[in-house]
Amino acid sequence: MKNRLSELRNNNNLYQEQLAKAIGCSQQLISNYETCKLKRLPVDLEEKICDYFNCSIDYLRCRTNIRNEERYSKTLRKIELIIEDFYSNHDGQTKKSQQDLSDEELVNFQEILSHFKDILQKFPKL
């Protein structure tokens, strides 16, 4: 079973002992989890780790590449607002005649957004 604990810890320049002290467990427990000798930590310790690193349990367990779904969703919403603003006049009316995209342009735009989403997922802070 794969997990990201070692990556999170190393990205924050923490030794196993330091993390263990911060979340109230033993260094050996952290080591066993990082090396997959222990398949799962008790849920309360997983929650403490996730709180400490501001990530989701799914991220810790490698079920997603999105570290923090709430921040990721907020980022996507900001992008959506930028796009909406691009397509609207100052009075709030849509610029349909000026900004309509062809089907080919829409496909290209979707590909760009897909690549952007992949890039966003790689940011450690999201």
Please count the CA atoms within 13 angstroms of the CA of 110 that sit on its side-chain side.
Answer: 7
The residue to which tokens 């799962």 are assigned = 40
Q: What is the pLDDT of residues 39-77, one digit of tens each?
A: 888 999 999 999 999 998 888 988 888 777 776 677 777
DSSP-assigned letter for residue 94: B
Using the 3D structure, point to which of 60, 77, 93 is the last residue of a domain.
Answer: 60
β-partners of residue 108 are none
Contact between residue 60 and residue 50 where contact means Cβ atoms under 8 Å apart: yes
CA distance 94 to 47: 45
Structurally, the chain folds into a number of domains equal to 2
106, pLDDT greater than 70 = yes
Q: What is the pLDDT of residue 118?
A: 73
Enclosing domain of residue 95: 69-122
Whole-model pTM?
A: 0.58
Distance from C-alpha of 92 to C-alpha of 117, rounded to nearest angstrom: 27
Q: Indicate if 13 and 56 belong to the same structural domain.
A: yes
- Asked which of 60, 88, 104 is the last residue of a domain, the reply is 60
**CATH number of domain containing 20:** 1.10.260.40
Please give the pLDDT value at position 125.
54
pLDDT at 126: 46
**Higher local confidence (pLDDT), 125 or 88:** 88
Q: Are residues 55 and 76 in the same domain?
A: no
Phi, then psi, of 79 in degrees rounded to 5: -65, -40
Residue 29 has pLDDT above 70, yes or no: yes
User: Domain check: are 49 and 78 in the same one?
Assistant: no
Average pLDDT over residues 28-37: 93
Beta partners for residue 94, in sequence order: 88
